[in-house]
Structure 1
Amino acid sequence: MPELIQAEILLDRLPSPPREHERPHPQQAPAANDSGVPGAAPRPEVSPASEAGDPSSRLPVAAGELVARVRAAVSAYAYGETLPPTRKLGREVGAPYEHVRAALDALEAAGEVAVRQRVYRYRLDPGQLHPQDVEFDRAVRGALTKRVYAPGAALPVGLLGRRHGVASQHLARACRHLIADGLVAHRDGPAGPGYYVTTTSPSPIARAAATRKEESHNRV
């Protein structure tokens, strides 16, 4: 009995548990961002890249709007005219240097601008081959003339691109003049989606167009 009384006395001396509204809230750990690092600044959203090395993957989600603004700024310059430095162009469109550079890379992938002397960019004429695509275009036209690829055959653009210095993300640009001249078509076929030969006999119009493209390239 004395032990029970002593135990009750000790319990009475213990501090009573705090009420619900008096309980301190546990300290919340800083939320982790998408990198998994607690408290780190969240990464800016970027647009998904459908192709490896796609330059638009370095752009914000509103990449289309920025590319349109850069395209509008570039259109103020004549074909073949050297564009201003990227930082100056960024001030004109009100965008960071890195985003403007990625937008220019996207325009280059579309064949609208090109790099001169590895430093400055210039505006390309719509009918002009990109300098990096000239050898590829000439090789494909030569192979078609020699009937290396039959009509309906899949054109091995990846192999030809590696052989003639065209990166995988620029193959669409390299093939666009072949498509415009009716030599190649991008469609679904027996080998899956890709570029297929439509004819091995370029028309006089296509041959003249190829000559004009090479002449315009040589003038730059």
Structure 2
Amino acid sequence: MHVFETLMLMAAEFDDELPDLQVLAAPDVLKASLEDFILASQVADLIDQDTLELQITTDITRSSLLVSDDEVVTVVTLDDELTGLRSDDEELVENIWSSFSDDWEDGDTFSLRPPPLSRVQETLGEEFGDEVQADFMMVVDSVDTMPGEDDELDEVAIALLVAANNEVLLYDISKWGEDTGVASKATFSQTKTRLEDRGLIETEKVPIEVGRPRLRLVLVPDNLEDIDMLADQVTA
């Protein structure tokens, strides 16, 4: 798992043109690694750019390998650090490529749930303006991981807190979240209730011409007024 995460983070931060990447891994490795929204959305960007393909197989018994046209690297962990044993032996590289190609053909495509991070950023700006977009990305950049739906500061909680900081309607942010694939309206509603119960946000009714009033999200006064410190305040 650590090998995959390290490779994906390096690829996401790489400034030059990337080669085409094909990753073949066990399902549990990809599932565990990509529970984190930040990593998963960066991986989704690479897939969206046609730079990366992910396949799963249950037949992997060997250690992690990095293979190019003319070199193979066996990845090993030494003192909790990743390192590699390189070989450019033509016969070895050819044999490993052949084995990988067979396994790739027999593998299944891995379905990734989170949307690309670039799409999240772009649509936030389009729907709510530059300040909401900037606030969201500031918080995302301030945390290392967002591991899973039960985490105190997952992507839905961040979106709601940022929305409250900018007094966005709950309906609008939850519809945006569902339309972009971040999470369902039900998940946004449940997370909103959890944040209310913690005394972090509250809502104000906004009358509309037809139907039930909409709810405007606002931060609880004197609680989460500094968006720069949002991650530290919520997880404290």
- Choose 1 or 2 for highest CA Rg: 1
Higher-strand-fraction structure: 2
Q: Which has the higher contact order (CA 8 A, sep 6+)?
A: 2
TM-score w.r.t. length of structure 1: 0.30
